[in-house]
């Protein structure tokens, strides 16, 4: 009788572990390591800032990007890869958000690391508030699929010239990622 009771208890415990193990796997963003992390597309250093994005594949591999435009370029070039989840950072708080839950703002004068000019907000009202103050277009996650993802070549040229000047000056000035002077 004791053996039967012991077997039943053990089977119950094992069953609970098996059921718990079969639950939906949760994919969470990894912390950015600014010393070693490089963008999968442009191979630039990825800063732990409001422009960082991340994709986690179903096999658990995590990839980081320095600009949401780089992330979308990677997804376009790697349609055969199984993406479990993607994350972006809130422009104001720099906290991770699931890409599907975020609101986006596009405007050519917004400076981003690779000049794709799209920033992210957790709340739609924060995105709209940014637009009301600075201009821009509100985008949803669904809109991003149709977005052109073209770099602002004028901005790229300006950033390259500024980097060149910084090297000549000994790197004393930092790159300003705010809106450029030629705003609305």
- Give the span between the Cα atoms of 86 and 74, in whole angstroms: 12
| DSSP helix/strand/coil, 33 | coil
Position 150 in a domain: yes
12-43 pLDDT tens trace = 555 545 444 455 578 889 999 999 999 999 99
- Give the span between the Cα atoms of 113 and 121, in whole angstroms: 17
**pTM given for the model:** 0.77
Position 156 in a domain: yes
Q: Domain limits at 131?
A: 27-168
Position 22 in a domain: no
Position 56 in a domain: yes
Number of domains in the chain: 1
Position 62 in a domain: yes
Position 176 in a domain: no
Q: Are 74 and 55 in contact (CB under 8 A)?
A: yes
38-97 pLDDT tens trace = 999 999 999 999 999 999 999 999 999 999 999 999 999 999 999 999 999 999 999 999
Position 175 in a domain: no
Position 21 in a domain: no
Beta-carbon contacts of residue 59 (< 8 Å; ≥ 6 apart) = 82
φ/ψ of 138, rounded to 5, equals -80, 130
Beta-carbon contacts of residue 35 (< 8 Å; ≥ 6 apart) = none
């Amino acid at each position: 009788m004791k053996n039967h009771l012991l077997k039943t208890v053990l089977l119950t415990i094992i069953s609970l572990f098996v059921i718990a193990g079969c639950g939906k796997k949760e994919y969470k963003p990894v912390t950015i390591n600014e010393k070693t992390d490089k963008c999968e597309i442009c191979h630039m250093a990825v800063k732990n800032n409001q422009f960082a994005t991340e994709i986690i594949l179903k096999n658990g591999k995590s990839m980081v990007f320095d600009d949401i435009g780089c992330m979308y370029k990677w997804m376009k070039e790697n349609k055969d890869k199984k993406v479990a989840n993607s994350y972006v950072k809130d422009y104001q708080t720099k906290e991770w958000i699931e890409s599907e839950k975020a609101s986006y703002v596009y405007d050519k004068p917004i400076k981003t690391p690779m000049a794709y000019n799209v920033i992210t907000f957790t709340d739609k009202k924060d995105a709209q508030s940014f637009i009301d103050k600075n201009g821009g277009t509100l985008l949803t996650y669904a809109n991003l699929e149709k977005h052109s993802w073209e770099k602002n070549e004028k901005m790229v040229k300006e950033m390259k010239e500024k980097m060149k000047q910084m090297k000549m000056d000994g790197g004393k000035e930092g790159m300003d990622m705010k809106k450029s002077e030629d705003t609305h």
